[in-house]
Structure 1
């Protein structure tokens, strides 16, 4: 069948021929099931919780009827069978996974022991779909926020409509923890600070990134000082011992351990799998984990950072308040001075659903906007060129402070900025107005590739500057979108010879062979899990992932430790001053390995250069230091890099290292807007 696909380089919609099951493959690939099944602690503790609940009911001579909500592969249902359940009913509404579950259950000889209902649990009716209520519920409907996948509604409905009054639930309950920290990086992820440049931030846009969750591998984050110990924010009872509130508000009194600014709120949770609270499944970072030397790595559940609505300075020993709120799906936390206690504790006010606000930029983009070295570089570039060029076009389609800086710091006659998003345009106008710069900047409400001749009649410019910050960029070579935009501008009659200066000058692409500590697990076969054969899952899911996701995918590699097995190698460069490039570019780079370890992937990133004479005047999105063999690589926290995870890992050792080489094949077809990279390991 034909499907339309947005070309991230050209900005155009391309039509591609796909298999009839394309949508099915897309859904499967993005479901993240492989990561969950590699979470051996999760699997083991769910098994232990089930075993304990079923054993308890058996000891009371009760018939055990198990309900598994959201069965996925059928793993938890098969565990229930092995634990001695008399009946097992599994429900799964995600159609692609129903097929997987049936195949896995049949492969393990349990086809006649598990009934699969292809419905949401909230649509199940006793007497029609199930013969009787269950007395054991097992389900994993959690995300990093614990409740974001609808856990509250799922458990509440099951307790009311699908379970006996005397029942056991796995997990039984959960505790959510928070910790207040002082972190300059958290500040950069939340508040835009333009004070260095004498510019104001409008009150209504003080939070450009909104209040949405910022999930993160906190164990890899060390740029903070703890102002409190971990504090309990909420308890959730899933077993019916206490009703789960759809809207709950709690206030925690805390004491600051040291002087600092409360600009980050860390959050994680712990599942207590059994009715005696003995089996603990913790998502805590290493410093708060009950077993820090034996922690399970996982990516499907991480930790999260929330951000206060305003910055509060705390003194050592000072009392303060933390307000905690959740609705059915979301969480919200804030920090308050102790003097606000009466106001904060006024529970007569109705609890409303949480409004997370509008997200105008990502947290990473906000950190880029707070990078003073970055914008000092841009100011110097602008001043260096203002004598030679009169009219400046700033070409991004993500919010930028370049229009503000160019208007306040330079003397260009005219400054134009592209902004096609009406919400970001409104935001930029507010910034310009509050700083008295609205007369200096003209906004063109188009993307770079959408500008028409009519847009340029009264808008003449000879200098085009870009951070190459475009919303379409996913992988490093997507920055070639800037070239296609320039080609579009050049094609317009009025502008054929008007553009005299283009920055950035060059795109450079780098690669390095790496040994990832854990990240490769998200694309690795599961094989046997807790004694169950999941080969059918591997076959279906990994094939779908390959078809849907392609060869490379973006990840913030600073969160995922990896060590170098080769030097970094430049494999491609492109000059943005190039005109009408039409010939396909093909190149093969061959490089060797210089360190022992498990070769399980390749990382790629790009550098944008802005000065022909000084390559240091650049934006580097990848490695911050030269790789040192035997040590973890140091990656930029403000960008995602591209990663290729090898299907077949290779153990590199002294005996084979000199005989192994890597071929990296690059193919760029400018007329089609296609860029492909392939890796081949030769022995």
Structure 2
């Protein structure tokens, strides 16, 4: 019988090569050719499908078309994104990562899409994977830093550095546990510190939850590192979704939480506590004290305070303060105000308040009333919590103590942890909390006036609204749709009062209103910015007109049809500013200009149209780019096949103080689309900086010191989310000691690509101190003579600062060498002390 075994008994047989499949090879070859042809024809979807087929059939070709495949994927993803096919977009990335699971570029790109869609945890995971594959990948590192600011907000560092706050919470928890609260739930655990305090105090069972995946994973690491992973159970979920016994075995006797924002209720503490009392907490002690086991909450309650203030900085971020912007009259704009409204009526399109640290506002603020108590709340009274939203609106009368312009109501609170321990978030306190700001559409108050304020919690947000003022026995009602702005120096108060009363019934003044971001309102109020653009655009158009006329005269004896056509045609200007911008309208006002605006929102387009009409700008001179584009991928293309742009306006600096991403790539594309003599605005950006010592920036950037926080090892874990650049900084009010003069750090030339460099070293002489930070800002040059500074106190921009991981001890006369590096649009700075001959000896 023949041997049927397939196992070879003697020797080693050479593996036979796989027989070539001519049909398969032909399919691979033709698909590869088709992919490349589709790529040339900009048919990215079909090209992507062909590449997938090739790479699945012939993995051996993976390295050959990788760059083309990436390019195709990214272009096809842009098209899918533009038409809202988000699921298809992510399906394409998943298919790409199946083929190239270790491709850091694809991982980073998918992370960028996830971040834009609001999936921050998932985005961070992709950026982190990309960095693990390539630690020096600058795009992934920059993206990880950006997403870190969202995932672990900077107040976490301040909170952990606030020793007084930490000790008070620890004392309150310890006292409650010692009184018998031995089962504890920490809602919104963050780093897990309050839950660990409970366990350290002797609690038998401790549970904790957090909705953020990042904070949940961080808390798990921290608890494990402190030897408590077996005794504290952490859940990745909202407390509102927790059930007994599904998620925790039984009701607990103590809930600890710090889910409060500057407005107290903005993080949902009311809803979470109502749910906890009904489903997770033991019932409170009844009036007869008969229950042996009762539940309680830390904090036990809060008192909310408020005060009316005058503040120019708040004013310019929430309402229009100028009558003219870049030579354009704003009379026809209608009412423009920020998305923040202190209306007593809930409106999903608006925020009830914003936040500011009053002690750091440029120009300061003036109290117009004494602080008043707006609300008291007992977190251990479930009936009171349930009745909060249905409470009757409370009307309060506040005597005005100083004359001034009512710009906002500022609000803070005192958090009562228990009978002995409390925390205040007041303007004079140095805490991790800011104050809640309820802006108002301005009215001049005078001593002896009484301001009438309504306080309500209709949708479990604390809402404060200034509704009227009592003056000389008459009640003047405010209306957000009426401009009640009067000069303080009005010599005739009776005339002012009559005018105010008349405005209440003047319905013709109630024009259409338009809501803008706070930064957009500040931009509208930035006079120097618009005036500089107006001057620079007028100068450019004048130069181009003269050039055209000279060319026409030069060809008088031999007429050139192209020159003749050019002189008759308008100059084309494209404004690609982010958000609401008047620069296109300012360009159109120069005459013989057709301006294109990239403003997308219909309400904002209507404002521009009204302003164009009222400023005698023809409709033919202003066009909305996205309205006229058939292909949304045509951004920065020519207005028509035979024309080039005379000017392209780029938005170069983010409000937070950073250079916009991919700025240099946009500038490179824009240069190729300019007519001869045309310009990019701005043409150049000069970066300036200064050496400073600032404990404030250090405390806001990382957990400081070698000592564990309340005895717990937390710093190494949360400090993983430390970012090297602090944004939204106001240098004019920053608590710091300046160790040097300002110095030029870098130049970005948007008009001359060959003038740019990627690295620069700068030597700076400094005073003695601890060099911890390098704040930086920009001088933005529209041309060689006209510039605006982001350091100006009237600027809509904030500043940023590089925070050194290891602060440097410097002595007077030391030289610090700064290594400044530009990668794409990201600036990084390293500092070291340069040794002098005396030091070397």
Task: Classify the TM-score, shorter chain.
Answer: 0.7 to 0.9
Q: Secondary structure at the match of 1:387?
A: helix
1:247 CA displacement: 5.7
How high is the TM-score relative to the length of structure 2? 0.65
Aligned counterpart for 1:532 among listed residues 705, 711, 716 = 711
1:619 CA displacement: 1.0
Q: C-alpha deviations, 1:360-400, integer Å up to 9, x for none?
A: 64323422321334333344444444533353525223322
Q: Note the 1:167-206 alignment, pairs <5 A.
A: 167-196=295-324, 199-201=329-331, 205-206=335-336
Q: Which residue of 2 aligns with 1:226?
A: 367
**Residue 402 (structure 1) aligned with residue 583 (structure 2):** yes
Change (3 A) 1:477 1:189: closer
Q: Secondary structure at the match of 1:532?
A: coil
Q: Which residue of 1 aligns with 2:381?
A: 240
Q: Secondary structure at the match of 2:253?
A: strand
Distance in structure 1 (CA, Å) of the matches to 2:756 and 2:615 = 47
Q: Secondary structure at the match of 1:419?
A: coil
Aligned counterpart for 1:281 among listed residues 415, 423, 446 = 423
Unmatched segments (≥5 aa) in structure 2: 1-101, 114-125, 134-139, 285-294, 342-350, 479-511, 546-570, 836-841
Q: Which residue of 2 aligns with 1:354?
A: none
Distance in structure 1 (CA, Å) of the matches to 2:403 and 2:320 = 23
Change (3 A) 1:117 1:201: same
Distance in structure 1 (CA, Å) of the matches to 2:513 and 2:808 = 45
Change (3 A) 1:49 1:376: same
Q: Note the 1:591-602 alignment, pairs <5 A.
A: 591-592=764-765, 594-602=766-774
Change (3 A) 1:319 1:272: same
Change (3 A) 1:574 1:109: closer
Distance in structure 2 (CA, Å) of the matches to 1:272 and 1:658 = 50
Q: Secondary structure at the match of 1:587?
A: strand
Aligned counterpart for 1:641 among listed residues 799, 805, 808 = 799
1:485 CA displacement: 3.7
Q: Which residue of 2 aligns with 1:571?
A: 745
8 Å Cα contact 2:708-2:715 kept in structure 1: no
**Residue 50 (structure 1) aligned with residue 178 (structure 2):** no
8 Å Cα contact 2:397-2:451 kept in structure 1: yes
Distance in structure 1 (CA, Å) of the matches to 2:330 and 2:788 = 25
Aligned counterpart for 2:399 among listed residues 252, 255, 264 = 255
Distance in structure 1 (CA, Å) of the matches to 2:181 and 2:172 = 18
8 Å Cα contact 2:514-2:604 kept in structure 1: no
8 Å Cα contact 1:397-1:471 kept in structure 2: no
Q: Which residue of 1 aligns with 2:660?
A: 478
Distance in structure 2 (CA, Å) of the matches to 1:257 and 1:459 = 63
More helix by share: 2
8 Å Cα contact 1:237-1:243 kept in structure 2: yes
Q: Note the 1:24-35 alignment, pairs <5 A.
A: 26=147, 30-32=151-153, 33-35=156-158
Q: C-alpha deviations, 1:521-561, integer Å up to 9, x for none?
A: 23323554453222xx3333323x25xx5x43422234532
Distance in structure 1 (CA, Å) of the matches to 2:464 and 2:236 = 37
Change (3 A) 1:660 1:507: closer
1:198 CA displacement: 6.9
Question: Which structure has the greater CA radius of gyration?
Answer: 2
Q: Which residue of 2 aligns with 1:265?
A: 409
Unmatched segments (≥5 aa) in structure 1: 8-14, 287-294, 345-356, 625-634
**Residue 621 (structure 1) aligned with residue 804 (structure 2):** no
Aligned counterpart for 2:734 among listed residues 543, 560, 576 = 560
Q: C-alpha deviations, 1:584-641, integer Å up to 9, x for none?
A: 533222323x2222211211211112342x4xx321112x5xxxxxxxxxx6763222
Change (3 A) 1:122 1:27: farther
8 Å Cα contact 1:419-1:444 kept in structure 2: yes
Q: Which residue of 1 aligns with 2:678?
A: 500
Q: Which residue of 1 aligns with 2:521?
A: 366
Aligned counterpart for 2:599 among listed residues 397, 419, 422 = 419
Change (3 A) 1:445 1:667: same
**Residue 143 (structure 1) aligned with residue 261 (structure 2):** yes
Change (3 A) 1:256 1:475: closer
8 Å Cα contact 1:417-1:441 kept in structure 2: no
1:71 CA displacement: 2.0
Q: Note the 1:78-477 alignment, pairs <5 A.
A: 78-166=196-284, 167-196=295-324, 199-201=329-331, 205-211=335-341, 212=351, 213-221=353-361, 222-240=363-381, 242-244=383-385, 245-246=388-389, 249-274=393-418, 276=419, 278-286=420-428, 295-298=429-432, 301-308=433-440, 310-328=441-459, 330-338=461-469, 361-389=516-544, 391=571, 393=573, 395=575, 396-407=577-588, 410-420=590-600, 424-433=604-613, 435=615, 437-439=617-619, 441-446=621-626, 450-451=634-635, 453=637, 455-457=639-641, 461-464=645-648, 466=649, 468-469=650-651, 475-477=657-659
**Residue 516 (structure 1) aligned with residue 694 (structure 2):** yes
8 Å Cα contact 2:454-2:466 kept in structure 1: yes
> For structure 1, which segment, 563-572 or 191-200, has the greater mean C-alpha deviation from structure 2 after superposition?
191-200
Q: Which residue of 1 aligns with 2:79?
A: none
Distance in structure 1 (CA, Å) of the matches to 2:421 and 2:319 = 40
Q: Which residue of 1 aligns with 2:761?
A: 588
8 Å Cα contact 1:392-1:412 kept in structure 2: no
Distance in structure 1 (CA, Å) of the matches to 2:112 and 2:237 = 33
Q: Secondary structure at the match of 2:240?
A: helix
Q: Which residue of 2 aligns with 1:632?
A: none
Q: Which residue of 1 aligns with 2:9?
A: none
Q: Which residue of 2 aligns with 1:291?
A: none
Q: Which residue of 2 aligns with 1:604?
A: 776
Distance in structure 2 (CA, Å) of the matches to 1:378 and 1:24 = 35
In angstroms, what is the RMSD of aligned CA positions?
3.7
Distance in structure 2 (CA, Å) of the matches to 1:66 and 1:459 = 71
1:282 CA displacement: 0.6
Q: Which residue of 1 aligns with 2:160?
A: 37
Distance in structure 2 (CA, Å) of the matches to 1:252 and 1:426 = 39
More strand by share: 1
1:679 CA displacement: 0.3
Which stretches of structure 1, 4 residues or longer, exceed 6 Å deviation after superposition? 20-25, 339-344
Q: Secondary structure at the match of 1:116?
A: strand
Q: Secondary structure at the match of 2:283?
A: strand
Q: Secondary structure at the match of 2:282?
A: strand
Q: Secondary structure at the match of 1:680?
A: strand
Distance in structure 2 (CA, Å) of the matches to 1:195 and 1:102 = 56
1:50 CA displacement: 1.7
**Residue 679 (structure 1) aligned with residue 830 (structure 2):** yes
How high is the TM-score relative to the length of structure 1? 0.79
**Number of matched residues?**
611
8 Å Cα contact 1:209-1:366 kept in structure 2: no
1:564 CA displacement: 1.5
1:455 CA displacement: 3.0
